[in-house]
């Protein structure tokens, strides 16, 4: 079977590229093949991933905070500024997330033993149960999603994305 006969049917990005090629033949639209598909894939994956969070009563932000606390190890605590850095949100956004999680009984705040003026946020026993269940389901979901392309392709995509992100971070 040749490459031409095994090529999938045109998708949404192919149609956009064809329209641009017709309307602006002077502009090379090949990057849309990668960037456009990555954008569409990111949106689709976000939907698939956040559906699992919702099954556990969590939004994406809440999952991120609970996961950052769980990854901290015993006693599953971090300062709010440290949490913000680990989840890449502002301290103001972190305060709102922690408020919601505290109201739900998933985290607690207490004064810092190291700094009397500081506070720490920690998982409650219920919060640990919730994040452990949600994380297990999340990883099963990610395995399911990657199984759609197979291990070999997943490894290749991971290698390419790692190189690309390293170049962007540099």
Q: Has residue 110 been placed in a domain? A: yes
Q: How many domains does the chain have?
A: 1
Q: How confident is the model at residue 144 (pLDDT cuts 50, 70, 90)?
A: very high
Count the neighbouring beta carbons within 10 Å of the beta carbon of residue 86.
17
Burial 35-65 (b: 16+ CB within 10 A, else e): ebeeeeeeeeeeeeeeebbeebebeebbbbb
Q: Has residue 164 been placed in a domain? A: yes
Show contacts of 6-15: CB within 8 Å, 24+ apart. Answer: 11/37, 12/40, 13/37, 13/40
Phi, psi of 108 (to 5 degrees): -135, 160
Could you say which DSSP state residue 5 is in? T
Q: Has residue 161 been placed in a domain? A: yes
Helix 60-71 crosses helix 91-103 at what angle (to 10 degrees)?
90
Helix 125-147 crosses helix 150-169 at what angle (to 10 degrees)?
110
pLDDT more than 90, % of the chain: 78
Report which secondary-structure segment, H or E, holds 10.
Answer: none
Please give the mean pLDDT across all residues of the chain: 92
Question: What CATH code is carried by the domain that includes residue 114?
Answer: 1.10.10.10
Q: Range of 165's domain?
A: 47-169
Residue whose entry in the numeric block shows the structure tokens 């991120």? 64
Q: Has residue 60 been placed in a domain? A: yes
Q: Has residue 88 been placed in a domain? A: yes
Residue with the bigger pLDDT between 35 and 117: it is 35
| Whether pLDDT at 160 is above 60 | yes
Q: Has residue 7 been placed in a domain? A: no
| Whether pLDDT at 1 is above 50 | no
How far apart are alpha carbons 108 and 69 in whole angstroms? 11
Q: How confident is the model at residue 161 (pLDDT cuts 50, 70, 90)?
A: very high
| Whether pLDDT at 2 is above 50 | no
Q: Has residue 85 been placed in a domain? A: yes
| Whether pLDDT at 148 is above 80 | yes
Q: Has residue 52 been placed in a domain? A: yes
């Amino acid at each position: 079977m040749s490459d031409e006969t095994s090529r999938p049917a045109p998708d949404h990005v192919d149609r956009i590229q064809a329209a641009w090629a017709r309307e602006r033949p002077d502009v090379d639209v090949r990057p849309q093949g990668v960037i456009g598909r990555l954008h569409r894939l990111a949106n689709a994956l976000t939907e698939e991933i956040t559906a699992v969070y919702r099954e556990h009563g969590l939004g994406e932000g809440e999952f991120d905070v609970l996961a950052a606390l769980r990854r901290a190890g015993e006693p599953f605590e971090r300062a709010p500024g440290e949490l913000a850095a680990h989840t890449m949100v502002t301290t103001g956004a972190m305060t709102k997330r922690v408020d919601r999680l505290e109201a739900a009984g998933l985290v607690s705040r207490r004064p810092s033993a190291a700094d009397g003026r500081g506070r720490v946020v920690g998982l409650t026993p219920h919060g640990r149960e919730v994040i452990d269940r949600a994380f297990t389901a999340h990883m099963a979901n990610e395995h399911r999603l990657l199984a759609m392309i197979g291990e070999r392709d997943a490894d290749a995509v991971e290698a390419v994305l790692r190189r690309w992100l390293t170049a962007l971070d540099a």
